[in-house]
Amino acid sequence: MEPLRSSDPARIADHRLLGRLGAGGMGVVYLARTPGGALVALKVLLAEYAEEAGFKERFRREVEVARRVDSPWAVPVVDADADAEAPWLATAFVPGPSLGEAVAAYGPLTERGLRVLGARLAEALSEVHRAGLVHRDLKPGNVLIAHDGPRLIDFGIARAPEDTALTATGMVVGTPGYLSPEQAEGRGGDGGIGPASDVFSLGCVLAFAATGRAPFGSGAVDALLYRAVHDPADLDGVPAGLLEVLGSCLEKDPDRRPDAGELARELAADGAARENEAQDDEASEWLPEPVTRLIAERSAAALALPDIEHTLAPSAGPAASAPAEPDTRGTSESAQPQDARPAGRRRFLLLAGGAVALAAGAGGTWWTVTRDGDAGGDGAAAAASSRWPVHTVALHADLSGPQRETGKAQERGLRLAVAEFNARDDAPFTVKVRAVDDKGDPATSARLATELTDDPAVLAVVGPTSDATAQTSLAKYDAGLLPVVAVSPGSTVLSIQGFRSFLHARLPDAVLPVYVSNYLRGTARSRKVGIVVDRPAGNYATDLSTSLSNVLGNAQQPSVPEVVSAMRRDFGSAVDAVLSAGADSVFFAGLPDRGALIAGTLRERGFDGARISGPALLDEAFLTKAQESAEGWTMVAPVIDATRKPEARKFAAAYRERWKEAPPRYAAEAYDVTGMLLKALAALPAKSRTRENLLAAVRAGKYTGITKPFAFEKTGLMVIDGNGGYLWRVEQGDFVYGGPAPLTV
Give the residue numbers marked as catalytic. 137
Which residue type is seen at 91? T
Nearest 5 degrees, angle CA 491-CA 492-CA 495?
Answer: 110
Q: Give yes or no for a contact between 59 and 82, defined as CB atoms under 8 angstroms apart.
A: yes
Nearest-CA neighbor of 39 among 95, 81, 1, 86? 95
| Distances in whole angstroms, Cα of residue 740 to Cα of each of 154, 301, 330, 618, 638 | 47, 28, 18, 15, 9
Mark out the alpha helices in 268-403 (DSSP H runs). Answer: 289-303, 379-384
Q: Give yes or no for a contact between 684 and 620, defined as CB atoms under 8 angstroms apart.
A: no
How far is Cα 681 from Cα 487, in angstroms, rounded to an integer?
19
Q: Give yes or no for a contact between 497 and 526, defined as CB atoms under 8 angstroms apart.
A: no
Q: What is the SS3 assignment for 704? A: strand
- The number of helices, as runs of H, and strands, as runs of E, in the chain is 23, 25
**Which neighbouring-strand residues pair with 60?**
none
**Which neighbouring-strand residues pair with 30?**
20, 42
Nearest-CA neighbor of 271 among 261, 282, 258? 282
Nearest-CA neighbor of 246 among 211, 202, 216, 198? 202
What DSSP string describes 249-281?
HT-SSGGGSPPHHHHHHHHTTTSTT-TTS-TTT
How far is Cα 404 from Cα 280, in angstroms, rounded to an integer?
18
How far is Cα 412 from Cα 434, in angstroms, rounded to an integer?
12
**What proportions of the chain, in percent to the nearest 5, are helix, strand and coil?**
40, 20, 40
Q: How far is CA 573 from the centre of its chain?
A: 33
Burial of 600 (0-12, 13-18, 19+ CB in 10 A): middle
Q: How far is CA 697 from the centre of its chain?
A: 24
Q: What is the SS3 assignment for 496? A: helix
Nearest 5 degrees, angle CA 668-CA 636-CA 470?
Answer: 60
Q: Could you count the other beta carbons within 10 Å of the beta carbon of residue 241? A: 12
